[in-house]
Amino acid sequence: MSEPVGRERVLQDAARRGLTVRVVPRPQASSLHEAAKLLGIRPSDIVKTLVVKKHDGGFLFALVPGGRKISWPKLRAVVQVNKLSMPDAQIAKEATGYERGMITPLGSTTAWPVYADESIVGAHVAMGSGEHGYSAFVDGSELLSSFGAVVADITDPE
């Protein structure tokens, strides 16, 4: 039996967590605003899952709402480290099993810790589904709870 891939991994992990996830086809978009319009949501309801490398060689997931970017000083303070960086695409794929643009903590090949911007709490969000051409919709609060995520102010406006 082969290992599940893409959406299947996401949905299996969500089911194990008791998390309701709805995966929908997502047309290609050239911008955050265009993607939000196509999905019928606000840009801030699209959550990017970024893989962040720690100085010790480990990784973490940073969940960042659309229109915002990681605030490195804030994230370093919350993680309580002096150095964090963005790995290249190949290392991110090796760390998660997903290509950039599809990354999600759901179904990741390694269960890295999740750090999320506080604005995700209470929002219904769209995020990577593990597969190109699809988005996964989930209740932000339930998602964060299912991972025991560290929730804090970790972003700044783009």
pLDDT of residue 2: 63
Strand order, beta sheet including 47-54? 84-85, 47-54, 59-65, 114-117, 150-152
Class of domain 6-145: alpha beta
- Contact 7/23 with Cβ under 8 angstroms? yes
Look at residues 40, 81, 37 and name the one whose alpha carbon lies nearest to residue 57.
81
Look at residues 68, 58, 127 and name the one whose alpha carbon lies nearest to residue 98.
127
> pLDDT, tens digit, for every residue of 13-41?
999 999 999 999 998 899 999 999 999 99
pLDDT of residue 5: 79
pLDDT of residue 92: 97
Give the residues of the chain that fall short of pLDDT 50: none
Strand, coil or helix: 104: coil
pLDDT of residue 98: 96
pLDDT of residue 1: 57
Whole-prediction pTM: 0.95
